[in-house]
Amino acid sequence: MLDNHFKKEEFKKSVKENVKMLYRKTIEEANQEQIFQAVSLAVKDVIIDNWLLTQKQYEKDDPKIVYYLSMEFLMGRALGNNLINLCAYNEVKEALEELGFDLNVIEDQEPDPALGNGGLGRLAACFLDSLATLGYCAYGCGIRYHYGLFKQKIENGFQVEVPDNWLKDGYPFELRRPEYAKEVKFGGYVKVEYDPATGRNNFVQEGYQSVLAIPYDMPIVGYNNKIVNTLRIWDAQAISEFQLDLFDKGDYRKAVEQENLAKNICDVLYPNDNHYAGKELRLKQQYFFISASIQAAIEKFKKSHSDLHDLPKKVTFQLNDTHPTMTVAELMRILLDEEGMTWEEAWEITTHTCAYTNHTIMAEALEKWPIELFSKLLPRIYQIIEEINRRFIQEINNKYPGNQEKVRKMAIIYDGQVKMAHLAIAGGYSVNGVARLHTEILKKQELKDFYEMYPDKFNNKTNGITQRRFLLHGNPLLADWVTDHIGDGWVTDLAQLSKLKVYADDKKAQQEFMNIKYQNKVRLAKYILEHNGIEVDPRSIFDVQVKRLHEYKRQLMNILHVMYLYNQIKEHPEMDFYPRTFIFGAKAAAGYVRAKLTIKLINAVADVVNNDRSINGKLKVVFIENYRVSNAEMIFAAADVSEQISTASKEASGTGNMKFMLNGAVTIGTMDGANVEIVEEVGQENAFIFGLSSDEVINYENNGGYNPMQYFNNDPDIRNVLMQLINGTYSNGDFELFRDIYDSLLNTKSSDRADTYFILADFKAYAEAQKRVEEAYKDEAGWAKKALLNTACSGKFTSDRTIQQYVDEIWHLDKVTIE
């Protein structure tokens, strides 16, 4: 498989040459960061050859293209992944060893491109990997944020956000393409001109401000197939740099305004996961990258096709959540205003080209822009949405004559707001959820009226993850073991993992499997010691919850349970207890006060528990600082227990759950999101399921909630733990520090419903499930079998499967092979 380009000697020569050219140094003089740059350039050189080949092939085959439009691409480091997909990892590792360098250390020099928050952005990155690997023509379209998701420091137990200046040393895998720049217009007003020649009105935006969108391309390397697709992220540049004559005309103020507009747009990724903040700059970001992307896509289409009516046959715009919904209106604008089509023609094309993925039912994540803000910033786009809305309401009225309730619930513009989800549904041909349960909830609850009106648009695409990054790269020991047993077909066909099932009862296989887990735990323990100064025992159960911090994900329930266990051990020192290490990793949105307080609570509990010698190290709590893609790979590989404990119905899918499963961790979780399908694949007996069902939760919610007080009053264990939040146990005597958390559960003053996420209702069931985990772990062979079966049954959760379903059922792309 070794590509010609990766002849070891040649590669070494090229690294040396790059060090010389870039830094005027010999390889002995260069530091690790410089070696990283030099190695990356050598790798990029190989990639570019394949990139050109791919381009040629696409020009020849003219396949249908999917544009995956997303505000977020949480790519993680590229060097290791590119080497994996070029099948050159081991060769390069050896070459570097011969030069006196360790590839792992070199990989660690790369900043994590963190242009995303969590699951949604990481999903986009997995999808790009699968699209290239399966040979489909795809472009990722996004924003080149100068600052990605903040870096997290923990100071005195609190989260502190540090800017992520990932571009400061230059990013070797990007390619600036100024020749493809596009102009994007904001503000001004729309002038209507009657054109006697056509008998139509022309709509002309005037008095606007412009920004130049400059694309940067990143290569997306397919696995072992020479295909290299493109992630195109747009950066903003002031147009005045190009139009200096503005100054001459004396329009200095406008020039400065445009300069500022350009400066701000791509500054920073909004750090909210599953939460809509309604900021004007965010709206600018959305239109900025959508306008540039759609303009570029139409221009590209027109280069090799004569009739825009064929667009739906050749192009799909997939909207990753509502953030890119502007696509619907921008495409209409181009077809109407620039291409001179009639409304009916343009609408026919648009509604067969756009498709929408919904990623949440959380009300606070729904994007609703105030008309004021929207129409001022995007006057022409707003006009078009008004017309879409007018016609859509007509359609509703035709279908449900006289039913004002339907109009109120479904209109795109209502109550002074533009509802982006409604626009995405009306303006596209497909609406999909991201796990079976989630899609059913959309159909029966959240989007019920839309489902009734357009049943055929709705479909499910259960999320997936790429095994190339999360097993082959992240867990080389297990990857090799799997290949030794069933061959390497799983790398591109994960269903083959089911061939491992025959080893589930095999003593030798079990031992080897658990020995690999042990070695990965040693690797993580070392990382924890280096980064947290906490010593953990790799023989203890590694019980892990890593994901964004959000109340619905219930990290709070996890830490309350740790407090409960600690009480138990203190009260009954003689009690049989299998040593356990609870590991957390999570970033909280900078403005999410309660989430940040939860981080403090976890660290406060860790402080007390880890320093209590009387419990003989039976319990350890670790909060891993700055959880991100690169350390995630190592964490998944080392987990025994995967915490997937969201309030049922709230987690649309989850994807961390799949990464744990692939790496042989056993799930403790609720019947939520993709957990339902995980249990279906691996069997009830190989997971620990507990808690309220989504139906029960929704039922409570529709009937005014439930009363957590009853649990507080009737259960002394729960009462004890809650009292410890306000009696100074974990706050050096400060009664107030954690009072907000206490209040959130019992609602003594806040206006929200008490215990919105049913923590007290599920607490005892969770504790009981944790007890079952402990018992199961004591049975070594039994646990090994469970762990091994989790890996063996994880085949369904590859993003290759997800992408193939998108292709078969929504996109209908053509497969391409490089000759």
- Where on the chain is the footprint of ligand CR6 (CB under 6 A)? 118-120, 123, 273-274, 321, 359-360, 365, 434, 463, 651-655, 673
Q: How far is the CB of 70 from ligand CR6 (least distance, A)?
A: 10
Residue type at 107 in one-letter notation = E
Q: How far is the CB of 671 from ligand CR6 (least distance, A)?
A: 14
Please confirm, yes or no, whether 492 is among the known catalytic residues. no
From 461, 468, 548, 796, active-site residue: 548
Using the minimum distance from each CB to ligand CR6, give the nearer residue, 125 or 228.
Answer: 125
Using the minimum distance from each CB to ligand CR6, give the nearer residue, 551 or 651.
Answer: 651
Q: How far is the CB of 287 from ligand CR6 (least distance, A)?
A: 20
Using the minimum distance from each CB to ligand CR6, give the nearer residue, 109 or 463.
Answer: 463
Long-range contacts of 334-343 (CB under 8 A, 24+ apart): 334/294, 334/295, 334/298, 335/308, 336/203, 336/384, 337/202, 337/203, 337/204, 337/380, 339/308, 340/198, 340/200, 341/308, 343/387
Cβ neighbours, 10 Å, residue 162: 10
CB 241 within 8 A of CB 226: no
Cβ neighbours, 10 Å, residue 411: 18
Q: How far is the CB of 672 from ligand CR6 (least distance, A)?
A: 9
Task: Name the DSSP class of 807.
Answer: I
From 226, 659, 785, 796, active-site residue: 659
Cα–Cα dist 67/69, whole Å: 6
Q: Whose structure tokens read 């699968």?
A: 130
From 439, 655, 670, 798, active-site residue: 655
Please confirm, yes or no, whether 613 is among the known catalytic residues. no
Cα–Cα dist 764/756, whole Å: 17
From 359, 419, 550, 801, active-site residue: 359
Q: How far is the CB of 64 from ligand CR6 (least distance, A)?
A: 24
Q: How far is the CB of 646 from ligand CR6 (least distance, A)?
A: 8
Please confirm, yes or no, whether 548 is among the known catalytic residues. yes
Using the minimum distance from each CB to ligand CR6, give the nearer residue, 120 or 668.
Answer: 120
Residues 6+ apart with CB under 8 A from 403: 396, 397
Angle between helices 716-726 and 759-778 (to 10 degrees): 110
Nearest CA to 647 out of 690, 708, 590 is that of 690
Using the minimum distance from each CB to ligand CR6, give the nearer residue, 273 or 551.
Answer: 273
Q: How far is the CB of 547 from ligand CR6 (least distance, A)?
A: 9
CB 221 within 8 A of CB 86: yes
Q: How far is the CB of 650 from ligand CR6 (least distance, A)?
A: 8
Tallying the residues shown for the chain, one arrives at 819
Nearest CA to 321 out of 420, 410, 459 is that of 420
Please confirm, yes or no, whether 168 is among the known catalytic residues. no
Q: What is the DSSP string of 424-473?
A: HHHT-S-EEESSHHHHHHIIIIITHHHHHH-GGGEEE----B-HIIIIII
Using the minimum distance from each CB to ligand CR6, give the nearer residue, 47 or 632.
Answer: 632
Using the minimum distance from each CB to ligand CR6, give the nearer residue, 182 or 547.
Answer: 547
Q: How far is the CB of 550 from ligand CR6 (least distance, A)?
A: 8
Cα dihedral sign for 420, 644, 625, 471?
Answer: negative
When CB distances to ligand CR6 are compared, the closest residue is 119
Using the minimum distance from each CB to ligand CR6, give the nearer residue, 633 or 651.
Answer: 651
Q: How far is CA 210 from CA 129, 188, 286, in A?
A: 34, 10, 15
Q: What is the DSSP string of 38-103?
A: HHHHHHHHHHHHHHHHHHHHHHHH---EEEEE-S-B----SHHHHHHHTT-HHHHHHHHHHTT--H
**The three-state (H, E, C) secondary structure of 573-630, written as one string:** CCCCCCCEEEEEECCCCCCCHHHHHHHHHHHHHHHHHHCCHHHCCCEEEEECCCCCHH
Using the minimum distance from each CB to ligand CR6, give the nearer residue, 272 or 630.
Answer: 272
Please confirm, yes or no, whether 508 is among the known catalytic residues. no
Please confirm, yes or no, whether 628 is among the known catalytic residues. no
* Catalytic residue set: 359, 547-548, 553, 655, 659
